[in-house]
A = this chain, B = another copy of it.
Amino acid sequence: MYSREIERLLNAGKIMEGDAVEVLLNGKSHAGILLPKISDVGENVITLKLDNGYNVGLKFAPGMQIKKTGSAGKLSQMPRLIVEKKDLPSIAIISTGGTIGTHIDYKTGGVFMSRTPEEILAMAPELQNFVNLKSLSSPFRTPSEDMTIENWKILAIEVAKQLNDPEIKGVVITHGTDTLHYTASALSFMLTDLGKPVALVGAQKSPDRGSFDGTLNLVCGSWFAAYSDCAEVAIVMHGSDSDDFCYAHRGTKARKMHSTRRDAFRSVNDSPLAKILADGKIEMLNGNFKKRKDGKTIADTEMENSVAILKIYPGSDPKLLEFLVSNGCRGVVLEATGLGHVPTGQGGTDSGVFDKKFNWLPEIQSASEKGVLIAITSQTIYGRVSPSVYRNLRLLFDAGAVFCEDMLTETAYVKLAFTLAHSKNIEEAKKILLENLAGEFNKRLVEKDILE
């Protein structure tokens, strides 16, 4: 519901949602499309989508005028036509679904999944000012919570296909945010010999809200893909809760750290690759990145599907590991505590309280002997695991577990699937798991640098 003042202005001008309007307010003029009433702003505020793609909220003040400059009928002709601009660098946009893959219906105010890449593009028409959108494709449409390893493979093949077009400078992928970092890790390992930037972008807020973040992410992701020298898979998302800049996070070193904030994605145990402004200014923040190069990008999509993550906690049951192994699981990431601890009863306990049914060592030993790779990460998220400090960690190591240094649980899971499909035996797999394939280990990690 609008306030009485706003209602009166709209009724007087016979203005409907979706109409093009010019608003005069406090001596300034604002031109754009009147969006449906947004629920999370006051009833005294109208929201326009400006020509540059941004939304602006305008609060009623005495003297406010609203003039209709075009009718909804004409302006709801989405998708807009895409004009080829050969003088600008070419990029490909691949849309996969998620909140950024939705659009607001200008007639009904409802939010719908975008069915065409053009509908996605409509949220940021200004892209056409600085890039040539040579390709818009959508190999599948799914919210990221429903993604599986199969989706990663299809996506990797599509990305490689686009990157191997000599005219394409980089690729932007629109994606749901829930598992964006898993996909970013998967592409980091699957796209071997990567020579161009790949930017994954999403939205934390839906387009019916004034706080919609998808536009800036898409814009900054496109700058990164077209203009940066960084040939890495990066997550490009808001760098602050304001709508002011984005970070490009290395695909293997980032994580969604908030359920709703726009700056939910954070680099973990590494600094972001770059800071990107909406005007195209790109500041590299991490001295350690792969540069553009010539050559063909290969989508190496061999993945072992039978991998799992188990979280460790007081009272966690080692029978879960036994169950996975007996069901053919070939690799398990144990998200352990602290430096990589799991309950063993052998860390110096002298109380007689520890029940040996909670001891994970026999199951880890047994799994290893059956050729199942056990990888250890930490649920602290930040920091490093290491078997060298305490005796019970050494016992885990001796039982065959691989301590995954400063690698994130999510990255370790993806890499385990990749590694097991690329090794002849468990010893080779253990070796590959600890090789730095895609920046998943930060050898320069200093304790002081990493916790924000």
**A interface with B by C-beta (< 8 Å):** 97, 113, 139-152, 154, 177-179, 182-183, 241, 256-261, 263-264, 305, 307-311, 313-317, 319-320, 323-324, 327, 335, 337-355, 358, 378-385, 390, 392, 410, 413, 417, 447-448, 450-452
B179-A146 in contact (CB<8A): no
Bound-state Cα–Cα, A258 to B382, Å: 5
Extra inter-chain contacts (12) besides given A142-B349, A143-B341, A310-B311, CB under 8 Å:
A145-B347, A147-B314, A151-B314, A177-B338, A179-B313, A179-B314, A183-B314, A258-B380, A259-B339, A260-B384, A309-B316, A452-B452
Which residues in B have their C-beta under 8 angstroms from that of A410?
A: 313
A164 → chain B, closest Cβ, in Å?
A: 23
Which residues in B have their C-beta under 8 angstroms from that of A142?
A: 347-351, 353-354
The answer, among B308, B354, B384, B417, for a CB contact under 8 Å with A148, is: B354
A383-B261 in contact (CB<8A): yes
The answer, among B146, B317, B381, for a CB contact under 8 Å with A349, is: B146
Which residues in B have their C-beta under 8 angstroms from that of A354?
A: 142, 146, 148
Q: Give the dominant DSSP class at A's interface.
A: loop
Which residues in B have their C-beta under 8 angstroms from that of A178?
A: 337-338, 341
B259-A384 in contact (CB<8A): yes
Known: A146-B343, A309-B313. A141 touches B350 (CB 8 A): yes
- Measured CB to CB, the nearest residue on chain B to A343 is B146
- Measured CB to CB, the nearest residue on chain B to A414 is B314
Known: A148-B355, A358-B148. A97 touches B349 (CB 8 A): yes
A200 → chain B, closest Cβ, in Å?
A: 14
A145-B258 in contact (CB<8A): no
A307 → chain B, closest Cβ, in Å?
A: 7
A226 → chain B, closest Cβ, in Å?
A: 28
A148-B260 in contact (CB<8A): no
Which residues in B have their C-beta under 8 angstroms from that of A260?
A: 339, 383-384, 447
A11 → chain B, closest Cβ, in Å?
A: 32
Which residues in B have their C-beta under 8 angstroms from that of A151?
A: 314, 351, 353
